[in-house]
Amino acid sequence: MLLEKINSPEDIKKLNKTELQQLVDEARTALLGKISQHGGHNGPNLGVVEMTVALHYVFNSPVDKLIFDVSHQSYVHKMLTGRAEAFLKENHYDDVSGYTNPKESDHDLFTVGHTSTSLSLANGVAKARDLKEETSNVIAVIGDGSLSGGLAYEGLNNISEQGTNTIVIVNDNDQSIAENFGGIYKNLRGLRETKGQASDNFFKALGFHYEYLDEGNDLQALIELFTKVKDSTEPVVLHIHTIKGRGFSFAEENREKFHAGGPFSLETGEYISTGNQLETYQQLTTEFLLDKMAQDPTVVAVNAGVPMLLFNEEQRKQAGQQFVDVGIAEEQAATMLAGLAKNGAKPVWAVFSTFMQRSYDQISHDLALNHLPGTILVYGASASGMNDESHIGIFDIPFLSHIPNLVYLAPASKEEYLALLEWSIEQTEYPVAIRVPVGPVQAAQLLEKIDRQEVFKNQIIQKGEKIAIFGLGNLQSLAQEVAKQLENSYQVHPTVVNPRVISQLDTALLDDLAKTHQLVVTLEDGILEGGYGQTIASYFGNTTINVQNYGLDKAFHDRYDAKELFAANHLTVEAICQGISEKFKG
Amino acid sequence: MLLEKINSPEDIKKLNKTELQQLVDEARTALLGKISQHGGHNGPNLGVVEMTVALHYVFNSPVDKLIFDVSHQSYVHKMLTGRAEAFLKENHYDDVSGYTNPKESDHDLFTVGHTSTSLSLANGVAKARDLKEETSNVIAVIGDGSLSGGLAYEGLNNISEQGTNTIVIVNDNDQSIAENFGGIYKNLRGLRETKGQASDNFFKALGFHYEYLDEGNDLQALIELFTKVKDSTEPVVLHIHTIKGRGFSFAEENREKFHAGGPFSLETGEYISTGNQLETYQQLTTEFLLDKMAQDPTVVAVNAGVPMLLFNEEQRKQAGQQFVDVGIAEEQAATMLAGLAKNGAKPVWAVFSTFMQRSYDQISHDLALNHLPGTILVYGASASGMNDESHIGIFDIPFLSHIPNLVYLAPASKEEYLALLEWSIEQTEYPVAIRVPVGPVQAAQLLEKIDRQEVFKNQIIQKGEKIAIFGLGNLQSLAQEVAKQLENSYQVHPTVVNPRVISQLDTALLDDLAKTHQLVVTLEDGILEGGYGQTIASYFGNTTINVQNYGLDKAFHDRYDAKELFAANHLTVEAICQGISEKFKG
C-alpha cells in the first residue's frame, strides 16, 4: 500500500502517474472504510480525493499555504500530511478531528468549522506574505455552497483588490441544482453548461483570472491546471466541477443524505440505525410548523445552511412557498426576518446556536431595534449539542439575551415549548428567540396556551423555603433532582423555579422569594460568565441573600464528553447539594 | 415656495415638469440651508435630490415600499413625506433623526443606521407581499459603498432567487475611484465607462435585469427610467451614476470631507471650528501607529468602513502598503486579521463599537478560537459616543468580553492605553481588543511598558478599607471622584481599583480585598446586564461581601444627552455616594 508510506507531501512528489492514480484509489478506499464505520462528512470528501492529491503533488505545503473552507473536506489532506493512520486503523480514528487543526499538523493553518471564511483568511495570509516580501502560493479551496455566504464575497473583493498571488479553487459539485437556486448558482450553472464560456462571468466581473475544468475528478487534468497557475502573480479563480460522493454510488445518487452522517453500510448505502426512535424536539417543531403553515399562508419558515434541520425534501415541497432557503447566509436570514415581519408575515428561522452568532448585528440592528416580531428557534444550545470546538452551542445566552427588546425564552418541556412557539408566532410586539430544549422530550403539566403576562413570569414548580433553585431550560430537570436530594438527605424543602424567560428577571417573584429564602441557586446549560445566573447575583448583590451560580467555564471545549464537562463544572446533583449544604453548615 | 406645500407624495404627482424641477431646486436649497447650520450627511443627500423627487413622482409610497440603505441619504425623502418643516425651520431641525424612522412616518419602513441591510430587508418585504398575494413595488436604494458588505451580496442572491418584483437602485457616485478599489469597484467603473455595456456584468451574472443611467442627476431621465421598470415582474438593478455633493461645488470637489460633518460655511466650504483643539485618543493612536509602522514593516492597520478613523488621505499614503481598507466589511476585517496574524504580521483594526458587532462570529471563530494575536481598537465604546439609537456603543462588554481566549482591555489613561497597545501589538499569544477611552485624554503615572503579568492584574489606585470601588476604563475618574466625596462627607477611606482587564477577574486581588472590605462597587460605561460588574457580583455571590453594580439599563437609547442618561442610571458622584452610604447606615 502506497498510502501507508506517505509521511508528508514530499513523498507524493516522487510518485509517477500510475502510482499517483493508485494513491487516489487507496485514499478513496481508506476514506470509505473509515466513514462507513465512524461517520463524518462523506460526500464532500469523496469528491475531492483527486483534487487533494493533485494539490499536494503540485504545490509545496506548508510553504505554500492551503486553506480549506469549513475544512470538513480535509480528510484526504490529513491522510497525505502524516495522518494516514487515523484513516487506516480503527483504534486511531479519533486521533484527528473532522476539521483542519493546527495542533495536529503544520499543514493545517486554521481551526475552522464555520462557512465562507477561507477567502478572507487567505487574503490575510497573502497580505502578510507580501509585507514580508516573501513568495509562496496561497490557495483557498471553497465549495459552491460556501459561496452563498457574504464573507466569501468580501474575501473575493479584497483578494482582487490586493492583486497578488491567491488561488481560489471553487469546488463546484452542483449540489445547488437540486433546489434550482438563483443568484450566483444560476451563474455557476451557466458556466458549467458552457464549460466556462458563458458571458457575465461572476468571477471575471470581480477582476479574477478565471479557468474552468469540467473533469474535476481527473487527476492528470487537475495536475495540469494547478501547474499552469502555480506562482501566478495575480488572483486566480479555478472553477472545478467535481462529483460529490464520487466513487460511492449511493452517495453520488443521494447527495443530501450523504453530505454528512453516522456509520452506514457500504453494501446497501443505508445508515446504520442507532435504535433511537424517541420523539425529538426537532420532530415536534416540524409537525407544528407544517400544521401552522397549512392554516396560515403568512407563516414562513426560513432556513440558512441546514435545510434538513426543519424539513426533509418532501416536507420542503409540502411547505412550498412558505419555506425559504437563503443559502449559508445567516445574516440574510435574520435581516430577511425583519423585512418579512414588517410586511405582515410570520417568519420562523431555525438555526444552530453556533451559526446564529454569525448574525449578531442583524438580530440586534434589524430585528430588535425595529421591534419586529420574528421568531428564532435556537437549536443545539447546550453543552449536550455538537461538541467540536468550532461548533459548540454554549455562548448564546451572553450574546443574545442582552440585546434590548429581544425576548429570549428557555422552555423546559414539550408543552411549554409548543405554547411559547405558538405565542411567539402570533404576537406582534417582540422579536423572540426560543432556546429549543436539547435531549429527550420532557412532558409537563398541560399548557395549551401561554398569554403575554405568563411569558414574562417565572414559574414556581415547587414552593419551599430557605433555598430557591432556578433551573433554566435544559437544566430544569437537574434542579428538580437537586431538590429531591436535598429533601432526602438534608430534610430541606427548597423552592424550585422554572425561569422560562432568560432575557429579563421576574423581579416581583425575586422580591417575594427574598422574604423567605437565604440562598438562590442558578443552573444554566451555557457559560456562566455573562449568563443568566449572574444577572440574579447582581440583583441580590446588595442584600443578605446569597447566590450560587452554576454553569460552564468560558472556553472552546473540544470533543468533550458532555457528562464529564458538566461534572468538571459542578453541574451534578452531588456537587450542587454539596455546595448548598456547605452554606448551611454550622 | 412649492416645498412648503408638499404634505405627502400625492402632492408631487400633481406637479408639471417645470414645477418638479423647481421642487428639486428648492429641496437642494433647503438641504444646504439645514446641513450648513446643523451638520449631517452632506454629500450623500446632495447627490440624490433628483432621484428622490423622481421616486416619489413615479412610485406610490407607502403602498410601494421604499427602503434606503444606511438611510443617511433620506433627508429629501423626509422633506417630501410631510416633514419639510424639519429642513426649513431652524427650531424644527431636531424634529427628525438623521435616518429613516418608522416613528416619524409610515413612509419610513425601518430604523436603519448600519450598512448593506437594505437588500435583505427588501427581500423580506417582497416575500411577505408575495405570500399575501398582493402587488406593489419594493424598491431598495443602495450606495456603491454599501455594496462592499457581504450582506448586500446575500441580498442580491436571494432577490434573484425569489424572482419577483424588487427594484434595486445602485446609487453609484464613484466615490471608490479615489482609492482605485478592486473587485466590485473595478466592475462598476467598467460599467460607468461603457455606459453599462461592459462584458462580465456583476448584476447580470447574479441574474438581474440591468439598466444603466449615466445622468443620474437628470430628473426627466430618472422619471423615464423609473416609469419603465415600475411594476416589473422580475428583479431589476438600476445602476445610476450620480454626483456626490451635487450642487455644492466644495462638496463635489472634496467628497471625503463632505461625506458627513458639522456646520460649515456655504461661502468658503470650510467647517466651522468648534474651538476644540485638545489632544484626542484618536490622534494619539494615529501618531503611535504611523511611528510603529515606520519601524516595523509587518505592522499593518486594517480599516472597514471609516478610513478617516485612523488616517486622513495623506497619512494613508504615508502608511502605504501597511494600510488596508477592506470596504464596509467588518467580517472581512476580523477574519483577515486572523490570516495576517497567522502568517506573522501584526495587524491592528480600528472600528467603532456599534459596527464591530457585525463581526461577532469572525472575532470568535476565526480570531479567538485560533488564539491569533490581532489587535482590535474599539472606538466609541461609551454612552458618551454616538447617540443615535442605531449607532450607540454600550453593548460591547456583554458581546465581546465573554468570548473565550480574547483579552478585552479598558485602559483609563493615555499612558496605560499606549502601553497596552504596544504590548498587544508585540505579544503573540492572544487576540486583544482595547476599549479606546472616550473623552478628554487623561494623564496617569508614567507607564512606559506593561508586561504580560501586569496586563491581567487589576491596578490599585488607592488602598483603603471597607469599600472598594472598581472604575472601569472611562469611569475610573468617576470612581476617584466618588472616593474623594466619601472621604470628605463620610470620613471613609475607600479602595479604588482600575481593573484594566474586562474579560477576566483578578481573583487574587478580589480574595485579598474580601479580607478587609464589606462592599464592592463597580462602575461601567456600558449596559449593566451581562457586563463586567455582574461577574464580580457572581464571584462574591456566596459570601458576605456586598456588591453594588452601576451601569446603563439595557435599551436602544435614542438621541439622548449622555449626562442625563448617566444621571438616570445613578452614575453620578451623588447617587453613588448615596447608594454606598445607605449600606452603612445604622
pLDDT in tens, A143-152: 999 999 999 9
Instruction: Compute the residue count for chain B.
Output: 586
Identify residue B322 by its one-letter amino acid code: Q
Closest Cα in chain B, distance from residue A92 (Å)? 25
Residue contact A110–B370, C-beta within 8 A: yes
Its ipTM equals: 0.96
**pLDDT at A85 (0 to 100):** 97
Of the candidates B31, B36, B38, B142, the residue with the CA atom closest to the CA atom of residue B87: B31
pLDDT (0 to 100) of residue B583: 85
Residue in B106, B123, B371, B538 to test binding to A, most A beta-carbons within 10 Å: B538
pLDDT above 90: residue A448: no
Region B475-480: what's the mean pLDDT? Answer: 96
pLDDT band at B175 (very low <50, low <70, confident <90, very high): low
- From B337, B340, B287, B277, select the one nearest B310 (Cα to Cα): B287
Q: Measured between beta carbons, which residues in chain A are less than 8 angstroms from residue B549?
A: 538, 541
> What does the pLDDT read at residue A440?
86
Grid coordinates in use for A247? 466513487
Cβ separation of A527 and B402 shorter than 8 Å? yes
pLDDT for residue A176 is more than 60: no
* Mean pLDDT on B173-199: 83
User: Cα separation of B415 and B397, whole Å?
Assistant: 22
Local confidence band at A180 (pLDDT 50, 70, 90 cut-offs): low
**Sign of the dihedral defined by the CA atoms of residues B412, B416, B420, B422, in that order:** positive
Query: How close A542 gets to chain B, by Cα (Å)?
Result: 5
pTM, two decimal places: 0.96
CA distances from A247 to A182, A222, A242 (A): 29, 17, 11
pLDDT at B447: 56
Kindly indicate the confidence band of residue A256, based on its pLDDT and cuts at 50, 70 and 90. Answer: confident
The pLDDT value recorded for residue B398 is 97
Write out pLDDT tens, residues A86-100. 999 999 999 999 999
List residues bridging with B347 in a β-sheet: B300
pLDDT average, residue stretch A453-463: 92
Mean pLDDT in residue range B415-429 = 95
Q: What is the pLDDT of residue B177?
A: 45
Distances (CA, A) of A319 to A71, A310, A346, A443, B133: 32, 11, 14, 28, 16
* Minimum CA–CA partner of B331 in chain A: A151
pLDDT in tens, A311-356: 998 999 999 999 999 999 999 999 999 999 999 999 999 999 999 9
Q: What percent of chain B has pLDDT over 70?
A: 97
- Region A364-391: mean pLDDT is 96
Average of per-residue pLDDT across A175-187? 72
What is the rounded CA–CA span in Å between residue A75 and residue A72? 7
| A463-490 b/e (C-beta count within 10 Å ≥ 16 → b) | ebebbbbbbbbbbbbbbbbbbebbeeee
pLDDT band at B180 (very low <50, low <70, confident <90, very high): low
**CA atoms within 13 Å, Cβ hemisphere of A241:** 17
Could you tell me the CA-to-CA distances from A505 to A459, A500, A501, B116 in Å, in that order?
Answer: 12, 10, 8, 35
Cell numbers placing A241: 466541477
Mean pLDDT of the residues in chain B: 94
Is the pLDDT score of A177 beyond 50? no
- Average pLDDT in the A503-521 region? 98
Is A151 close to B533, i.e. CB distance below 8 A?
A: no
Confidence label for A488 from pLDDT (cuts 50, 70 and 90): very high
**Whether residue B453 has pLDDT greater than 90:** no
When pLDDT is cut at 50, 70 and 90, the band that residue B258 belongs to is confident
> Which residues in chain B have Cβ-Cβ distances shorter than 8 Å to A65?
343
Mean pLDDT of A210-221: 98
Q: What is the mean pLDDT of residues A91-115?
A: 97
Choice between B134 and B386, residue whose per-residue pLDDT is larger: B134
3-state secondary structure of A385: coil
Question: Is the CB of B154 less than 8 angstroms away from the CB of A149?
Answer: yes
Contact B342 A370 (CB under 8 A): no
Edge-to-edge strands of the sheet including B166-172?
B65-68, B138-143, B166-172, B235-241, B209-213
Sheet architecture: strand order including B346-352: B323-325, B299-303, B346-352, B375-379, B432-435, B407-409
The pLDDT tens digits of the residues spanning A404-436 come to 999 999 999 999 999 999 999 999 999 999 999
Q: Give per-residue pLDDT as tens, A275-289.
A: 666 789 999 999 999
> pLDDT tens for residues B367-393?
999 999 999 999 999 999 889 999 999
Q: Average pLDDT, whole number, for chain A?
A: 94
A154, A300, A357 member nearest B360 (Cβ): A357
**Banded pLDDT at B307 (limits 50, 70, 90):** confident
